[in-house]
Chains A and B, each alone.
Chain A
Amino acid sequence: MSNRNALPGFKLSLGYTLTWLSLIVLIPLAAVFIKSAELTLDQFWYVVTTPRVVASYKLTFGASLAAAAINAVFGLLLAWSLVRYTFPGKKIVDSLVDLPFALPTAVAGIALTALWAGNGWIGSIVESFGIKVAFTPLGVLLALVFIGLPFVVRTVQPVLEDLQIEIEEAAASLGANRWQTISKVIFPTLFPALLTGFALAFARAVGEYGSVIFIAGNIPMVSEITPLMIITKLEQYDYRGATAIAAVMLIVSFILLITINSLQAWTAKRTGRST
């Protein structure tokens, strides 16, 4: 694509894009860094490393990683079922996979709580085995699994659909059994997409708030997520503390975003798809 500029509207559309982007996203986000610059480096470090905040990072990142991993496994199986098998109700399942994108997080939060609390449908069953889910870190994990699932399915599914049947036929004719074909031929091709889906689910989970707070229990050092720490600081009129933690989260989001975009570029290169 060279810019011989037969097409009009470049300056107008780019100018508009940049202005709107700056007004809505960049300038407000800059406020976080400018506000946290009111703290000295020592103070900043103190705020973002107090034990309670560190515990919240561990929970947020730990639960997000675990949720993304669970989604990678089950999301892959689900994508595989949707692409490779016929079964009744497949179309409905396929459309409902996107539900967590469309369902408001607060609704997901109260629904999951109602299901998994000690007096809920599932909660009453698992509690008879002595497992508590709602109001424990497991509840956080549960909510994060819910919101992350479609990311894995929807990144893996199209790549799986585009796989050339001929490759598998070739592998089979060369004497590979089905498991060898899947693990040695298909899986490596899917891997970048799976990793992208994993990273997307992880990034989404790290920032999630609405669905988690209903089910988390919010005990300091145990089940407080980092976004809740920001809210808690705000509610104590501690703006600087809130913005310092927000700055940490923003940096993490930015790094994740750049990682994801490179992963997507890698997937595209591996499979010849555009993102």
Chain B
Amino acid sequence: MAAAISLHLGPAHAERYESNPATRESNWVKWTVIGISLSFFALFLLLPLVVVFYEALRKGWDAYLVALVEPDALSAIRLTLTAAIIAVPLNLAFGVAAAWAIAKFNFPGKSFLITLIDLPFSVSPVVAGLIFVLVFGRTGWLGSWFIDNDMKVIFAVPGIVLATIFVTFPFVARELIPLMEAQGRDEEEASTVLGASGWQTFWHVTIPNVKWGLLYGVILCNARAMGEFGAVSVVSGHIRGETNTMPLHVEIVYSEYKFAAAFAVASLLAILALLTLVIKSFIEWRAAQAAKEDSEA
């Protein structure tokens, strides 16, 4: 399911279509199509983004900053960072291992395995939260054991981290698998034949080949990890200053008449999203350059 969010490095030169009489439309068709699609884009994507910043700053800079340095907001930011710092590297390690096994070897049930890895993409976030309540809740399979041993999972940080890992599970793997499949195994095999160890081959041959895709997988994974709402909401318990992540804090403040404050925290998340897109564009640009250098060399 992740194919839709792969890096795409195709040619971006529309001029070749517009200058070719066989592939161009009349001007009024062109501008109508652009007009419709851009209006749609502005209405559905751009305006919601603008409104976040507008509402956030409606009461001025000072109110904006006050909303962000409030202790509960700080604690939410801290928890969100913590969850991402734990979840992203774990899924990175998983993604690399899974991609190595799937892209470089043949084994029965491979496509089924890919489907299973995709599963968290299509499971509703609410269900994702529910499953951890079922396992670790007081009435769940392991819940009473954990609670008797004074280990909190649900309604505490570990539960939030688990739910985050679940929803971001496939990102890195799905980014790497197609890239590493396309790469084939010739380079790695050559390297091992020349006497490099498995790890050496991996670090010096495989990783440099897929580094942009890897980076892209990581930033997407991170964006989702910091922004997850549904799954985290089910396992959080909503304790102010303790188990509220940024998106949950937004919801709580929103329901306390503090509209501008909710949008202030939301604007931080929106900035994170924009930053993700900027990095993505940069990666695409670098990867396209690298591809060009390769083909020129």
Contacts and interface: CB of A to CB of B under 8 A. Distances in A.
Indicate if A touches B (C-beta under 8 A). Answer: yes
Contacts of B105: 1, 3, 5, 7, 10, 14
A92 to B, nearest CB: 9
A28 B55 CA distance: 39
Contacts, number: 347
A32 B131 contact: yes
A20 interface: yes
B277 A172 contact: no
Interface string A93-127: 11111111111111110111011000011100000
Interface stretch (B15-23, B62-70, B207-215): B15-23
Secondary structure class of chain A's binding surface, majority of residues? helix
A104 B267 CA distance: 10
Contacts of B40: 74, 77-78
Interface string A1-40: 1110111111011101100110011111101100100000
Given A107-B270, A162-B10, A250 B94 contact: no
B44 A145 contact: yes
Contacts of A275: 3, 178
A98 B125 contact: no
A85 B33 contact: yes
B123 A6 contact: no
Contact of A101 (B12, B25, B220): B220
A2 B15 contact: no
A155 B3 contact: yes
A269 interface: no
Given A105-B229, A162-B10, A210-B233, 11 more contacts: A32-B130, A78-B40, A95-B278, A97-B45, A99-B273, A99-B277, A106-B247, A107-B270, A110-B262, A178-B24, A227-B230
Interface of B: 1, 3-6, 8, 10-12, 14-18, 20-26, 29-30, 33-34, 36-38, 40-41, 43-49, 51-52, 55, 93-94, 97-98, 100-102, 104-107, 111, 113-127, 130-135, 139-141, 162, 165-166, 169, 178, 181-182, 184-185, 188-189, 192-193, 197-198, 201-202, 220, 223-224, 226-230, 233-234, 246-248, 250-251, 254, 262-263, 266, 269-270, 272-274, 276-278, 280-281
Q: Nearest 7 pairs between A and B by C-beta?
A: A104-B227, A207-B124, A210-B229, A161-B10, A8-B198, A209-B230, A102-B273
